Structure 1
């Protein structure tokens, strides 16, 4: 393998873009080692080379008109670089690193800022995006920012251990068999957002204080486990949301201090499909589980519901809430007993909806939720129901103690 040492002083030779010239001179398999300094961006990498920053102050700076680095070859590696100064066009997806048909791309240990999109993958498969620090442009409202990492028609990629903040989403659209693992996000919109994707693994991520932790739409057959979502708030604050999603396994997650823990919007979608929620901790949310337009079957097994203002609500008259199966969950409001001391309540936990179903169906009445008026109506309804209460859920085997004793966030 041939190694090229590209020193910043090469600019003294009058080359218009020394970095692009070095890329043009390189051959497949070469490595460009960059000394500390500022290099002009808007470069195109069209061969299988490696670009490595020797120190921590190697800056590749774009002129804010397009992507800083465009990759059009397979087997490219970009390591230990500071990348900044992309354009602001959503139409052309201006990014720090933009990859088109560049399979097996490695993007590792880079610091990417002042860019619209961070890393943009279009039809790039088998790539690794790992251990990068990514943020978007300052001064833009979050919906106008690009995604920290965007995968479009890109499969079998590993997105791992990245720190993304004040950007829009980590997105996988029309992208399957990807692993999104161990990422940390803060102040984003939807920390992870998948659409029309399947067989993805999303695990061990931690996201805090965005609008939505994870939003899965029109997707199937994915595993979501061991993630922590904290403080999702705002108009649609939710830890994990599923819209028209089927055959998902969601387990061992912690949902803490969110407006909603889970939000199920017509999920599962496909007849005969099943979504499973197991061993999750739904803690101190305003609503633990919100059901919307439920038609197909989901199961909740061995989850802990602690400190939520409402364990569950249904906001859609006509929802088939009897399709939701509950077993072995812990509810901190359970008032049953355990005479045989087997750890399981001897009577079912049943959640009835009384007068407060009004605010579930008519959101404008939520202004009065928790007021003496609604509390009084609920109290009177339980003593002498003036309408038939709705059984929202029943767990015939409720746990007397939480399934998980300790929570670490």
Structure 2
């Protein structure tokens, strides 16, 4: 701690120019103290909480008779391989050296934390954990009680079974790690008080691949850039993946079922989501893809089906002269396929399929000319009412989405329950037949596809 304070004091001294320098540099004096400081060589200061492991004697008595797993770790030299005999072992475990840990044979190796604190901390680089079962963390959100806490770089984590844990796998300031082929499940709590299944915090360039995450709270990436989420499956959680201030992340070939929200992009720039299946994001807040003040994101070849809202977008794209591109996605059997709230244009829709949705497009709080701010071209709508006389596969007339009596259920959410009732259907028919007011244009596709395109999700039999 003393050397960190000394280094910090040195940096602060560099940031404060001398009186002589201020006299000689009018520009610096005008801009204020510290304006010319160079922080490129400043020491990196860790900002996460230090590791605090609760000792074994303070954990549940059921694990007091088990062999402490830490003993095996301590006996293994730096760079060595720890072949663990099958059996049950007691946590906590703190690995601070490069090593490989894996079972000696086919039997199961279980490390139990005794329902108190964090079970396993990996605070090293280029280590490997393989085919372990880690269970029994504590229940404290304040302490981030976790089954596996990773605080190093270049580690390989594979084929783990994480169960009965508040937080499953927690990466803190951990880069270039691989987490794959693992199963993660939280404690049997109500949804809002579970922990996150896989969490990245200030962690970059990691690969999260082929994991099964069930019955957790969220899978999150906060302040974490250039990570790849590939081939994962998420079920019965809140957010399948929640990005916040996390740029250039890739989400591909994942399957998310029965979660409240599929993928949510919040304050994010860059990145892509492609070849994912998001299904049955239902309930009052059900949403397949969500955007909040995000920019420059590509959504390509995804299946968004049976969701309350397929896409919910607020002030996105946010940065000037940026776009959010939707290419070759399928939106089917959703309540609202695309919902744009307070958006400013910049969304581009190409080659998407809209079928079986109660409403394809809904723009809230916009004038009737605002529907043309976004670019729609070459999409398929099962509600298209035109023809294709020249048989070129493109409709002869544009497809236009208008809001008629729909405004009742759009502006009064409680009325959505009656969306397909005879009364609202009759009002909608009368409005279209003889509108009492000018309807609001929601979207206009000048070249709608006449025949539904064939599609295939990579890695899926559908």
Confirm or deny a common fold (TM above 0.5): yes
Q: Which moved more, 1:19-28 or 1:262-271?
A: 19-28
Partner of 2:309: 260
Gap change, CA 1:388 and 1:29, over 3 Å in 2: same
Gap change, CA 1:406 and 1:205, over 3 Å in 2: closer
- Equivalent residue in structure 1 for 2:395, among 341, 345, 348: 345
Partner of 2:164: 114
Q: Is the 8 A contact 1:329 1:403 kept in 2?
A: no
Q: Which moved more, 1:371-380 or 1:276-285?
A: 371-380
CA offsets per residue over residues 2-23 of structure 1, 9 Å max, x none?
A: xxxxxxxxxxxx9985421221
Is the counterpart of residue 296 in structure 1 residue 345 in structure 2? yes
Mapped partners of 1:367, 1:235: distance in 2: 11
Q: Is the 8 A contact 1:293 1:318 kept in 2?
A: no
Q: Is the 8 A contact 2:66 2:89 kept in 1?
A: no
Q: Which moved more, 1:367-376 or 1:182-191?
A: 367-376
Partner of 2:146: 95
Q: Is the 8 A contact 2:240 2:261 kept in 1?
A: yes
- Equivalent residue in structure 2 for 1:132, among 178, 182, 194: 182
Partner of 1:232: 281
1:389-408 → structure 2 map (5 Å cutoff): 389-405=439-455, 408=461
Partner of 2:40: none
- Equivalent residue in structure 2 for 1:178, among 211, 227, 231: 227
Give RMSD over aligned pairs: 1.7
Shift of residue 57 of structure 1? 1.3
Mapped partners of 1:189, 1:251: distance in 2: 23
Q: As a proportion of its length, which structure holds more helix?
A: 2
Partner of 1:247: 296
Q: Is the 8 A contact 2:91 2:120 kept in 1?
A: yes
Partner of 1:74: 125
Shift of residue 53 of structure 1? 1.7
CA offsets per residue over residues 67-98 of structure 1, 9 Å max, x none?
A: 11011111121100011000111112111100
Mapped partners of 1:306, 1:25: distance in 2: 62
Shift of residue 222 of structure 1? 0.6
Shift of residue 382 of structure 1? 1.2
Partner of 2:15: none
Gap change, CA 1:313 and 1:56, over 3 Å in 2: farther
Partner of 1:358: 408
1:7-406 → structure 2 map (5 Å cutoff): 17-54=67-104, 55-100=106-151, 102-138=152-188, 140-317=189-366, 320-405=370-455
Partner of 2:11: none
Give 3-state SS (helix, strand or coil) of 1:87's partner. Answer: coil
Mapped partners of 1:289, 1:15: distance in 2: 57
Mapped partners of 1:237, 1:218: distance in 2: 20
CA offsets per residue over residues 227-256 of structure 1, 9 Å max, x none?
A: 001111111111111111100000000011
Q: Which moved more, 1:204-213 or 1:264-273?
A: 264-273
Partner of 1:6: none
Gap change, CA 1:383 and 1:371, over 3 Å in 2: same
TM-score (norm 2): 0.83
CA offsets per residue over residues 106-143 of structure 1, 9 Å max, x none?
A: 110011100011100000000000000110111x1112
Give 3-state SS (helix, strand or coil) of 1:367's partner. Answer: helix
CA offsets per residue over residues 175-234 of structure 1, 9 Å max, x none?
A: 000000000111111111110011111000001011111111110101110000111111
Mapped partners of 2:177, 2:297: distance in 1: 24
TM-score (norm 1): 0.93
Q: Which moved more, 1:337-346 or 1:314-323?
A: 314-323
Give 3-state SS (helix, strand or coil) of 1:344's partner. Answer: coil
Mapped partners of 1:59, 1:356: distance in 2: 56
Q: As a proportion of its length, which structure holds more strand?
A: 1
Give 3-state SS (helix, strand or coil) of 1:175's partner. Answer: coil
Mapped partners of 1:15, 1:28: distance in 2: 28
Q: Which moved more, 1:121-130 or 1:316-325?
A: 316-325
Mapped partners of 1:295, 1:165: distance in 2: 36
Gap change, CA 1:386 and 1:56, over 3 Å in 2: farther
Gap change, CA 1:25 and 1:348, over 3 Å in 2: same
Shift of residue 66 of structure 1? 1.1
